[in-house]
């Protein structure tokens, strides 16, 4: 049986890496941003629209698909790719982040987590074995180990306990996965404690995974603390394997993380903020509900060639949000994903050229180079 994933590094500039990952459903270039299709759909967008932005891989969520429609239904309808009509690569997360965000609805021990469905209150048990079985049924190209994701700030005792449980669950996940034709990534926990991160990583490398993720960041800590942790730790991850930073982030976060040596990213920010009329542009952030755009004939971003920017002016987009028309969220979400993909493409080009460091400095001095430019962040 051929390997479910291959990874090639094509260029380096400092710690930043330019590469390509090949899966059974095609290749995607790294650094890569994966838009989030939580329940098997990117809200208000068709797969064709998403592909038009340059997106090569998307993410779906195990927790939500477990609840509705259920993995057996997805499998019975041809698997996740056919179910959502996405022809490229798909990654599913383990459901761990969503479960651990439901603190008032769950009970956790070393076996797994028992939680109540936010839909109908039904009691559901999610263990490492169940998470892997669900992801195997869904049929994504890349799947994630079930882990414990503690919120930050957290004391070292809580972080150490989460690391221990994450490692024990990772062993069970790998055993449960067996020789299924999917790439199973391990997830490194440890909060902002670099010693715990390194201990967790050493244990995961000993177990052996085709890719490694950093989890438990962007969960309450100030962004500069996350950037510092990444700068000190990201390059410790195995150099010949993909490196995935989970749930991150803003354009500024992505630039810092790529500079630290990370390869894959996901976040709901471009679509969730897009549905609220908040756009990322080459000249800074644009809040379309503001009255200043009422008579504007300008495109959302003159430097963007997405469908939204080619055909619609800011005045019209503002009108859509003022009347509650869902087309507004569709168009701005489409633009925001295109903006993110263009940012990733630009970083890949700069790494190829050996000019990433100079480009990063210019970006940090530009309109999106300060943390305030990224707000509001609506985490998912």
Contact 367, 373 (CB under 8 A): yes
Q: Which two tokens stand for residue 233?
A: 């730790």
Contact assessment for residue 297 and residue 311, using Cβ atoms and an 8 Å cutoff: no
Instruction: Judge whether 264 and 244 are in contact, CB under 8 Å.
Output: yes
Catalytic residues: 93, 266
Q: In the chain, which ranges are continuous DSSP H helix?
A: 47-52, 62-67, 71-76, 80-84, 96-100, 128-138, 156-177, 194-207, 223-233, 251-260, 269-274, 307-311, 314-322, 326-353, 356-364
> How far, in Å, are 97, 109, 131, 237 from residue 121 at the CA level?
19, 20, 19, 40
What is the distance between the alpha carbons of residues 110 and 108, in angstroms, rounded to a whole number?
Answer: 7
């Amino acid at each position: 049986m051929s390997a479910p994933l291959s990874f090639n590094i094509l260029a380096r500039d400092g710690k930043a890496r330019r590469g390509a990952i090949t899966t059974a459903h095609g290749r995607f270039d790294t650094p890569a941003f994966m838009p989030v299709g939580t329940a098997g759909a990117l809200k208000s967008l068709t797969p064709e629209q998403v592909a038009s932005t340059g997106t090569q891989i998307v993410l779906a969520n195990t927790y939500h698909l477990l609840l509705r429609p259920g993995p057996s239904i997805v499998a019975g309808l041809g698997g996740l790719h056919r179910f959502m009509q996405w022809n490229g690569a798909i990654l599913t997360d383990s459901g761990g982040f969503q479960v651990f965000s439901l603190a008032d609805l769950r009970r956790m021990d070393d076996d797994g987590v028992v939680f109540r469905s936010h839909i109908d209150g039904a009691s559901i048990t999610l263990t490492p074995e169940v998470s892997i079985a669900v992801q195997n049924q869904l049929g994504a190209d890349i799947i994630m180990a079930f882990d414990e994701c503690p919120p930050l700030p957290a004391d070292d005792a809580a972080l150490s306990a989460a690391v221990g449980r994450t490692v024990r669950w990772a062993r069970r996940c790998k055993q449960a996965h067996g020789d299924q034709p999917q790439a199973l990534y391990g997830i490194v926990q440890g909060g902002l404690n670099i010693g715990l991160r390194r201990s967790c990583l050493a244990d995961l490398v000993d177990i052996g995974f085709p890719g490694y993720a950093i989890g438990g960041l962007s969960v309450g800590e100030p962004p500069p603390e996350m950037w510092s942790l990444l700068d000190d730790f990201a390059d410790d991850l195995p150099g010949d394997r993909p490196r995935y930073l989970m749930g991150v982030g803003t354009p500024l976060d992505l630039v810092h993380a790529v500079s630290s040596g990370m390869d894959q990213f996901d976040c709901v920010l471009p679509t969730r903020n897009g549905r609220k009329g908040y756009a990322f542009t080459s000249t800074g952030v644009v809040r379309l509900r503001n009255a200043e755009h009422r008579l504007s004939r300008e495109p959302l971003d003159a430097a963007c060639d997405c469908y939204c920017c080619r055909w619609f002016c800011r005045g019209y987009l503002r009108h859509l949000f003022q009347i509650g028309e869902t087309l507004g969220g569709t168009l701005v979400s489409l633009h925001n994903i295109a903006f993110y993909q263009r940012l990733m493409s630009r970083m890949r080009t700069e790494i190829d050229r050996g000019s990433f460091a100079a480009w990063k400095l210019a970006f940090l001095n530009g309109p999106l180079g300060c943390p305030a430019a990224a707000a509001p962040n609506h985490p998912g």
